[in-house]
Amino acid sequence: MTVQSRQQTDSAQSVNSIKAPCCPNCGSSSSRQIYSVDGIPAHSVLLMPDQTTATQYPRGDMRLSFCEQCGFLSNSAFNVKLNEYNPDYEETQHFSARFNEFADELVADLVNRFGIRNKRVLEIGCGKAEFLWRLCEAGNNEGIGVDPSVRPERLSTESRQKLQLIPELYSEEHAQLQADVILCRHTLEHIQPTREFLDIIRRSIGDRSNVQVCFELPDVRIVLEETRFWDVYYEHCSYFSAGSLARLFRAASFEIVDLWRDYDDQYLLLMARPVPQPTVASLEIEDDLSELSALAAAFEVNSQTQITHWRDTIRQFHHEGRQPVLWGAGSKCVAFLTTAGLEHEVEVVVDINPHKQGKFLPATGHPVISPAQLKEYAPGVVVVMNSIYLNEVQQQLDQLGISAELIGT
């Protein structure tokens, strides 16, 4: 591991005086930087085959900017040329029973409350297509998935025959893929020109007013409110609140049918329909601009304290010989380690996804092991990178006979 990751901690700082480029959401020039970290890995869930390759993985800078006009946050230093989405990109969360429970509940909601039955569903950014298949099965729908990281071989023969999977990044060239429902889950936060992306989708719909549009993405409100610096990383160049998301959709000529939070308020879900012209706000959840401004200011002030707290906590565990490990080899874990400058203090990271095990985290080079391997390691502290999984992880530790203090971020 490198000394560079230690130095990154010192560069996470308040940068209130620095003006940012025009907002990709609304085009205004009223954005300002509230947070900065240098040299973070360009991808976090693209794991490496060996430690040397991992520590040499390309890096970029984070300049988190807040738009006073629409409440949108983005990385003004983002360089799209560092993107490397391919089949090795391991974003799936469907090895978790807790996440599958949420996915099944959402599928039932889409089918029963919004009537997505016997429809043609286009999912932009379908990942490994697990959710798309669930939705097609539950509602007797036909599915088309577009994503460069799709892995058809992981699906059953039946699902591969019923789904049309296109291993590409969605663009204007895919406008011919007409559908009754356009689904886009955890993809918009990876797009820098957000308004341009949504305009492409709107143009592809044309005057077909009966098309349903459903988006799901992280809610930046809880990130700011709880100073979750580990939720700020390079792949996520765009950060939305309920209000900034609604303002984007309304400006692009969509009517908001419903907008709500789920998954312990970590996720935003939006259902919209196309209309001839921009619409005006009508939902209480959209009115969040003043709250967001205050939360952004608080994050700017508190982020360094939070980083220092976690760095000192993990180092203390290590000093006491408690062999701390992190559970969850995803983006949160990589951001936690790189931003806090943690190296030898954490020896291994655990993940239940077998496709991650035996590989190494980009930038830090930490090895990823299975829960079964953790038994031999005998940690004294397990830090779970998303508290929503605490019960699930505790059950697995109990089954393995591991007695360790469990802490959630």
Q: What is the pLDDT of residue 407?
A: 97
Q: What is the pLDDT of residue 2?
A: 33
Residues 363 and 54 sit within 8 Å (Cβ to Cβ): yes
What's the pLDDT tens digit per position in 294-304?
999 999 999 99
CA dist., res. 151 & res. 132, Å (int): 13
Q: What proportion of the chain, given as a percentage, has pLDDT over 90?
A: 91
> Does the predicted TM-score (pTM) go above 0.85?
yes
Which pLDDT band, with edges at 50, 70 and 90, does 1 fall under?
A: very low
What's the pLDDT tens digit per position in 234-277?
999 999 999 999 999 999 999 999 999 999 999 999 999 999 99
- Token pair of 268 as six digits: 């935003």
Residues 60 and 79 sit within 8 Å (Cβ to Cβ): yes
CA dist., res. 378 & res. 357, Å (int): 18
- Beta-sheet strand order (sheet of 59-67): 31-41, 59-67, 73-75, 238-239
When the pLDDT of each residue in the chain is averaged and rounded to a whole number, the result is 93
Please work out, in degrees rounded to the nearest 5, the angle formed at the alpha carbon of residue 59 by the alpha carbons of 58 and 63: 155
Question: Which domains occur in the chain, in start order?
Answer: 303-408 (3.40.50.720)
